[in-house]
Amino acid sequence: MSIEMKMNPDVPFVGDTLPKLRAAAVQTAPVFLDREATIDKIAAKVREAKAGGADLVVFPESFIPTFPLWCLFLPPVDQHPFYKRLFENAVSVPGPAFYRLQRIARENGVFLSVGVCEKSTRNFGTMWNTNLLFDRQGNLIGHHRKLLPTWGEKLVWSFGDGSSLNVHDTEIGRIGALICGENSNTLARYALVAQGEQLHISIYPPCWPTGRAKTDYFDCLRVRTCAHAFEAKVFNICCSASLDEDAIEQMSCGDAELNAWLHDQGWATTMIVGPNGAPISEVLRDNAEGIVYADIDLAKEITMKGIHDIAGAYQRFDVFQLHVNKAHRQPAYFHNDAHGENEFIPYEEEQPAEEG
């Protein structure tokens, strides 16, 4: 007879309670390189997810205005027009598109996670692969820039830094997020676990061609998602984009062979996985569009943590140590020096009298 069967149901519950929530992951295609139309689509999908009972709604990597898939297969000299359009439709933080996302979260009363291509408000031409996390009131609580662009992404995005490698304490749990290849970075993942992560968000593009042969991207993401959930004993919300015909047509640049190759990619997946490493939601694959939901009870992490808590009782801090630099990187550091100031003094018609 199991322990559960022996327990007396008439004994009242005593002890701490942990949050319960409904998470939604949206697998869909952005409107290719059209920031405003893509945000319109986000607004509609968030309303749909809210109607489905969602407390947390997650969108894919670089969803606004699109993931720059061309950087993986077009020669660099042919990428300039796409780079220009990407920058013109990227998101400034803060800025008008950013404020629209705040309103969407607030009006629907949901936690909202969106992958964006962020452009610098200071350094013209610089962009980052960024994940934004808003609370129910529309406050920005998470602003994570991918630490290191992967492979061909280095032609598009700059480096993030440790200042955004954070876990956010909210009413629905402690939320962390990593972008695409960061979910293969053992130290980045451990840094979040060490900060008490309970809900992990992992976001991806629709496909990831590493050669002319088809890449089995589904299995790649399935292993990553289930591995982090199991190792960290957290719920992992894996959210990927899909690729529509308009994007394929534009990126193939009239090349029929390239168009056919893009249609024949190994596609990503969207799923939500529990702390035992098993999916607890529908699993989307094969470039499908849809929303997957999962009801999450954080109390289910307790038993699993009691077995393997890799940032707690199942760790040897005397043997292993991780040091994380959370300093925010700046292009230059200026120290206040009166002798170095370039002071602007306006011309005045009536000059003051000379000092005696």
Q: Which secondary structure element, helix H or strand E, spans residue 296, and what is its range?
A: strand 290-297
Rounded to 5 degrees, φ, ψ at 118 are -95, 135
Is residue 82 classed as helix, strand or coil in its secondary structure? helix
Of 224, 191, 190, 242, the C-alpha closest to 60 is: 242
Residue type, 119: K
Q: Report in angstroms the alpha-carbon separations of 294 from 163, 206, 227.
A: 30, 21, 18
Spatial distance between the Cα atoms of 291 and 289, rounded to a whole number of angstroms: 7
Catalytic-labelled residue, pool 71, 117, 180, 207: 180
Catalytic-labelled residue, pool 41, 61, 301, 305: 61
Residue type, 315: Q
Catalytic-labelled residue, pool 41, 45, 146, 305: 146
Of 24, 127, 46, 42, the C-alpha closest to 84 is: 127
Q: Report in angstroms the alpha-carbon separations of 261 from 33, 63, 82, 265, 274.
A: 21, 22, 19, 7, 35
Angle, to 10 degrees, between the axis of helix 256-263 and the axis of helix 245-252? 140
DSSP 7-26: S-TTSPP-S----EEEEEEE
Q: Report in angstroms the alpha-carbon separations of 184 from 6, 52, 80, 199.
A: 42, 31, 30, 17
Per-residue burial over 200-228, b = 16 or more CB atoms within 10 Å of its CB, e = otherwise: bbbbbbbbbbeeeeeeebbebbbebbbbb
- Catalytic (active site) residue 180: yes
First to last CA, the chain: 103
- Catalytic (active site) residue 146: yes
- Catalytic (active site) residue 61: yes
Point out the residues that are catalytic. 61, 146, 180
